[in-house]
Structure 1
Amino acid sequence: MDTLIIILIDGLVFASWLFLIAVGLTFVFGVLRILNLAHGSFYAIGAYTSASLLLFYETQSGLWDRWPYGSFAVILASAVLVGLVVGPVIERGVLQWLYDREPVLQLLATAALLLILDDAVKLIWGVDPYFAFRPARLLPNVHLAGITYSGYSFVLIGVALVSGLSLWLLVNRTRLGRLIQVVIHEPEMGTALGINVPRIYLLTFSVGTALAALGGAFIAPTISIVPGIAIEVGVLAFAVVVIGGLGSPGGAAIGALIVGMVRSAAVHELPQIELFTIYLVMTLVLIIRPRGLFAPEEARKI
């Protein structure tokens, strides 16, 4: 019983972190219809930005001694900063030229963008690892099933829940969300109705970028940040959205839970095949439901 509880908690923590990255990817695809292979780069940029600002906050600003919990505001601000700066630059500079192009061209262009951003990260931050562990040590440990968990792990769960709920409210309960839904289903009609479709695309991509950066920013205090993390995380995010269904934020949540629980069980029982089990599940889902478990229905032209 204790082992089951441990698997569930570990799986939920991992799923929460992965959801933050995957939901941005699937949200952008649902609106822009571009599968962005460079999405993991925004996670990496968010992690590096968060670590850099945290190190400044801890050592240079003098604020840590007076307000250590302000470091959580720094983490959040770093994700917002990436969304406001990197998102618009990439969307206006690259993606706007790929709309309505062949999917193969979109994939090649975003794959090239992934490599460019990976090298840009190395140029800006270098190749040495970054460490910013102090915020994760602020919270007391939690003891469950005989295992001691960092209280920060449960912060990740809370951030994922709040982010998912906020995205749902944005899409379903705001005027911007209604405009986004029009653009998703009938972009030409949206243009005819006077909707600024390019602006909707820009805002959507910026939100997706910020969500990926949020995942990187909040995981930064728990890992050693090194070059190459974008590719590893990007592959896992794609597994999540493929399982859940491209274009479905709810599917991303279910996909993240499935991947998180499968990985957690494999780590505890069969650690040698941890990644194999994730991609095995993805393959089985694609065989049974080629479009994923919760992919939105698309209108068929006759």
Structure 2
Amino acid sequence: MITAIAIVTDGLVYAAWLFVVAIGLTLIFGVMKILNVAHGAFYAFGAYAAATAIGLYFDRGWPVAGGYLAIATAAIAIGLVMGYILERVFLRRVYGRDEVVVVLITYALFLILEDVLILIWGTDGRSAYQPYTEAGSFTVGGLPLSVYDIGLVGFAGLLAIAASYTIKKTTFGRLLTAVIYDRETAAAFGVDVSRVYTVTFLVGAVLGALGGALTAPKISVTPGLGVEVIVLAFAVVAIGGMGSMEGALVGALIVGLFRAGAVHLIPQLELFSIYAVMALVLVFRPQGLFSRAQPRKI
């Protein structure tokens, strides 16, 4: 029973973290048709910015609760700045080009930003454990659980609800839907597609940075952490379906639970289990579990 509880809780925590990272990636692809490899850089910069902000905050002895606000502020600031620069300076020039060209450009940006990160923060690792430890823990069936981890699961759930509501119930969500299905027709009806692209990329960048910022208190922040994350995020969106919010959620849950099961039952297969699930899904559903129907122009 304890093992089962551990698998479920660890799986949900891992899935929540993956969902926060992957939802920004799938949003950008769904609207802009850009497979943004630079999303891993947003994650890494968010983690470093949060670690720095947390260190500065707690060194001054300020109230613990404000540390969580420092995490969110650092992620939003770094996501907005980086997202705006990348979209305005680089990506805006390549809209409408072959998708392979755009992928190569975002990959080049990712490599450049990895070096910029080292230039700013150096090669030494950074820790920002205070928000994690200060949150405390509790036990369920004899199994200790971190309040911070449970809070991360709750945040991911609220994010999923907010994303669904925004897409289905708001004016901007309807504009997004129109641009997703037919950019040219949406523009012909007066939709400012360029503005929609900019806002979408900024939101995706903030979500990527937020994923890194929320992870910073749980790990030692070191150079190269964006590489593994972008591969895992691609696995999640490939399982769920590129551009699908529901797919990102389900894909994260599948990956999280399978990985947790492997960790507790067959640790040697931890990494293999993630890609085995992805391969199995893609064999039967190459487009992913929740891929959108593609409109056919006549």
TM-score normalised by the chain length of structure 1: 0.96
User: In the alignment, residue 287 of structure 2 is paired with which amino acid?
Assistant: R
Shift of 1:301: 3.4
Contact 1:183 1:197 in 2 (8 A): yes
User: Which residue matches 2:50?
Assistant: 50
Separation (CA, whole Å) in 1 of partners of 2:28 and 2:101:
17
| Matched residue, 2:30 | 30
**Aligned-pair CA distance for 1:145:** 2.8
Q: Could you list the runs of 5+ residues in structure 1 that have no partner in the other structure?
A: none
Superposed, 1:192-231 pairs within 5 Å as 192-231=188-227
Which of these residues, 293, 297, 302, is aligned with residue 289 of structure 2?
Answer: 293
Letter of the 2:55 partner, please give it.
Answer: L
Q: What secondary structure does 1:94 align onto? A: helix
| TM-superposed deviation, 1:300 | 2.3
1:12 aligned onto 2:16: no
- Report the RMSD for the aligned CA atoms in angstroms: 1.1
CA contact (8 A) 1:28 1:247 kept: yes
Q: How does 1:162-177 map to 2 (within 5 A)?
A: 162-177=158-173
**Counterpart in the other structure of 1:259:** 255
Matched, 1:243 2:239: yes
> Partners in 2 of 1:98 and 1:156 — Cα distance?
36
Task: State the one-letter code of the partner of 2:189.
Answer: L
Is the contact between residue 25 and residue 36 of structure 2 (CA under 8 Å) also seen in structure 1?
yes
Q: Which 4+ stretches in 1 moved above 2 angstroms?
A: none
Measured after TM superposition, the shift of residue 93 of structure 1 is 1.4
Equivalent runs, 1:102-141 vs 2, <5 Å: 102-141=98-137
The number of aligned residues is 298
Q: Does 1:161 find its partner at 2:157?
A: yes
* Aligned mates of 1:113, 1:221 — CA distance in 2: 27
Q: Percent of pairs identical after alignment?
A: 47
Contact 2:75 2:209 in 1 (8 A): yes
SS at match of 2:144: strand
d(CA) in 1 for partners of 2:150, 2:9: 9
Counterpart residue type for residue 218 of structure 1: L
CA contact (8 A) 1:11 1:260 kept: yes
CA–CA distance in 2 between the matches of 1:256 and 1:145? Answer: 26
d(CA) in 1 for partners of 2:202 and 2:100?
23
Residues 285-294 or 184-193, more deviating: 184-193
The Cα shift of 1:91 comes to 0.8
Q: 2-side partners of 1:163 and 1:121: how far apart?
A: 28
Distance across 2 between alignment mates of 1:86 and 1:204? 13
Instruction: Check conservation: 1:127, 1:227, Cα contact below 8 A.
Output: yes
In the alignment, residue 50 of structure 2 is paired with which amino acid? Answer: S
CA contact (8 A) 2:2 2:143 kept: no
Give the AA of the match of 1:171. Answer: I
Normalised by the size of structure 2, how large is the TM-score? Answer: 0.97
State the shift of 1:297 in Å: 0.8
Show CA shifts across 1:172-191 (max 9, x none): 22211111111111211221
Q: Secondary structure at the match of 2:126?
A: coil
Letter in 2 for 1:289: R
2:45 alignment partner AA: I
Deviation at 1:269, TM superposition (A): 1.1
Deviation readout 1:121-144 (Å, 9 max, x if unpaired): 111111100111111112221212
SS in 1 for 2:291: coil
| In 2: Cα distance, 1:42 partner to 1:196 partner | 26
C-alpha separation in 2, matches of 1:251 and 1:26: 9
* Matched residue, 1:84: 80
The alignment status of 1:179 with 2:175, answered yes or no, reads: yes
The answer (yes or no) to whether the contact 1:50–1:220 under 8 Å persists in 2 is yes
Could you tell me whether the CA contact under 8 Å between 1:6 and 1:145 is conserved in 2?
no
Q: Is the 8 A contact 1:17 1:215 kept in 2?
A: yes
